[in-house]
């Protein structure tokens, strides 16, 4: 059997693409480390072939939370016959990865839009599974954590015995913070209801700080007999902290 002239050329003109568009990797060139509020983290989404987003956004859910999961959106204007798309995550106050390395948990398209390649039939067959990317996810590339949760004072207590304290009595006071903190300068001032202020310094990478309060003449927690319990009525940071 002999091929008719041009038959082979006709078959060769038919191209087959049975692979639907999908994400190959999510990578970053950011340095390893922990990032706080205001940090801008750039990353790159790579697809298996050039793709176009018909509209809306490509929504990437990070493994960070701020009461709700943090979602980074890449607009359709950035995905137009593109093999890669650039994403930017700006860390805001309250964001945290809970000690885990930053990664993409899921991907979705907003507003019923489509991500398609040159085969128009593929627009309803996009694979956005990011659970096992052949080229790696963020946490496979860089060891980045996010911690923009502000530290707070959790408790202020004393190990001194209960009772009425007079002039010269030494009362130990211990502050517990929600996370290790460093006082970069100045002082942390604790205002007591006895009429004095305790100024704390030398706080470095610790979640506790102790200070001694020595009762001075004229100080009282209420009236002539100090009828109220000793307590902290306010706290503030001085200039330079």
More confident residue, 122 or 44: 44
Q: Is the pLDDT of residue 20 over 90?
A: no
CA geometry: angle 194, 198, 200, nearest 5 deg: 165
- On whether the CB atoms of residues 78 and 43 are closer than 8 A, the answer is no
More confident residue, 64 or 15: 64
For the stretch 182-217, pLDDT in tens is: 998 889 999 999 999 999 999 999 999 999 999 999
pLDDT of residue 241: 46
- Ranking 6-10, 47-51, 103-107, 200-204 by mean pLDDT, the lowest is 6-10
Q: Is the pLDDT of residue 114 over 70?
A: yes
For the stretch 30-72, pLDDT in tens is: 999 999 999 999 999 999 999 999 899 999 999 999 989 999 9
Q: Is the pLDDT of residue 11 over 90?
A: no
Q: Which of 35, 82, 83 is nearest to 62 (CA)?
A: 35
CA distance 44 to 170: 59
pLDDT of residue 141: 93
pLDDT of residue 12: 58
Q: Which of 120, 140, 138, 63 is nearest to 96 (CA)?
A: 63
Hey, what's the torsion of the CAs at 99, 104, 110, 113, to 10 degrees?
180
For the stretch 126-152, pLDDT in tens is: 778 898 899 999 999 999 999 999 999
121: confidence class by pLDDT, cuts 50, 70, 90: low
pTM of the model: 0.75
- On whether the CB atoms of residues 115 and 21 are closer than 8 A, the answer is yes
């Amino acid at each position: 059997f002999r091929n008719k002239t041009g038959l082979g050329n006709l078959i060769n003109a038919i191209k087959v693409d049975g692979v639907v568009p999908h994400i190959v990797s999510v990578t970053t060139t950011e340095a390893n480390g922990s990032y706080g509020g205001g940090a801008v983290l750039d990353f790159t989404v790579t697809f298996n072939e050039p793709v176009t987003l018909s509209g809306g956004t490509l929504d990437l859910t990070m493994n960070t939370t701020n009461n709700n999961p943090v979602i980074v959106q890449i607009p359709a204007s950035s995905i137009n016959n593109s093999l890669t798309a650039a994403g930017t995550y700006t860390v805001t106050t309250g964001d945290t990865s809970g000690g885990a390395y930053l990664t993409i948990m899921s991907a979705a398209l907003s507003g019923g839009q489509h991500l398609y390649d040159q085969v128009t039939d593929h627009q309803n067959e996009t694979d956005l599974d990011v659970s096992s990317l052949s080229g790696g996810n963020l946490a496979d590339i860089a060891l980045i954590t996010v911690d923009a949760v502000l530290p707070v004072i959790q408790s202020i207590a004393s190990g001194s015995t209960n009772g009425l304290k007079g002039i010269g009595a030494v009362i130990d006071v211990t502050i517990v913070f929600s996370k290790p903190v460093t006082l970069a300068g100045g002082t942390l001032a604790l205002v007591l209801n006895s009429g004095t202020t305790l100024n704390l310094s030398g706080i470095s990478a610790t979640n506790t700080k102790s200070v001694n309060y020595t009762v001075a003449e004229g100080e009282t927690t209420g009236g002539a007999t100090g009828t109220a319990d000793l307590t902290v009525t306010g706290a503030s940071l001085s200039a330079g902290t």
